[in-house]
Structure 1
Amino acid sequence: MVERYAVPDHQWDMIADIVSPPQKMGRPRRDDRLMLNGIFWILCSGAQWRDLPERFGSWKTVYQRFRQWRDDGTFEQVLSRLHLRLRQDGLMDLDTWM
């Protein structure tokens, strides 16, 4: 069972290579999927970053990852991939997309 605001396995498989590329050097990163779930928890609940539940780890780490993905274009890449998938599946009409 998937928790509220959590990314299910089949959806994670669609974007994992964008959000969680292999790490070549440095200290191991916190779990990218957990970070994404924490970001969704904040965005969907409307809570402040400091109110993030402890199960996601430090709110500062989740916020830092949010800023990193926002600034480096990761979220745009994910959105582009999802748009392409929706068009391929016939679920999105580009004439009505804004």
Structure 2
Amino acid sequence: MVRRHELTDAEWDLLAPLMPAHPRKGKRWADHRRVINAILFRTRTGIPWRDLPERYGPWETAAGRHRRWCLDGTWDRIAERLRINAATGRPLDVGIDSTLVRAHHHAAGAAKKGTRFGRNGTDPKRWAGPGAG
């Protein structure tokens, strides 16, 4: 059974060839699929690395592998592969906009009763005509 934030077998079959080889020196790497599932879980839930569930192994492994794959281009290869249309073999035309516009905290809400502004937010003196107020 595949959990909510984890790769299916079909998704893993698509990504497995893009994973870097295990290093020749040092300790054998943890399973790539488990690490990707940990990274996906953390990305989708927004939790800190240290709060990863134990089923994903040590959080240091997932955080370190994520950083390493950012630097060595693994994530770029994955993104490029996912842009390919499986039916035609040609790249998909995709646009993603992640624009974020922050408003000042004073910009929230309209003017309250008892302010100098009228009900619709305009200054009544401004529109009263010449010689008013």
After TM superposition, the score normalised by the length of structure 2 is 0.63
Q: Which has the higher helix share?
A: 1
Gaps of at least 5 residues in structure 2 are 96-133
Percent same amino acid at aligned positions? 32
How far off is 1:85 after superposition? Answer: 3.0
Instruction: Give the paired residue count.
Output: 94
Native 8 Å contact 2:35 2:62 kept in 1: yes
State how 1:18-57 maps to structure 2 within 5 Å: 18-21=18-21, 23=22, 25-26=24-25, 27-57=27-57
Q: Does 1:77 align with 2:77?
A: yes
Tell which structure's C-alpha radius of gyration is larger: 2
How far off is 1:30 after superposition? Answer: 0.3
Corresponding letter in the other structure for 1:80: E
Larger RCO, structure (CA 8 Å, separation 6 or more): 1
Correspondence for 1:60: 60
After TM superposition, the score normalised by the length of structure 1 is 0.84
Native 8 Å contact 2:20 2:74 kept in 1: no
Provide the C-alpha distance between the structure 2 equivalents of 1:8 and 1:52, rounded to a whole number of angstroms: 20
**Structure 1: which 4+ aligned runs deviate by more than 3 Å?**
none
Provide the C-alpha distance between the structure 2 equivalents of 1:32 and 1:53, rounded to a whole number of angstroms: 16
Alignment RMSD (CA, Å): 2.1
Gaps of at least 5 residues in structure 1 are none
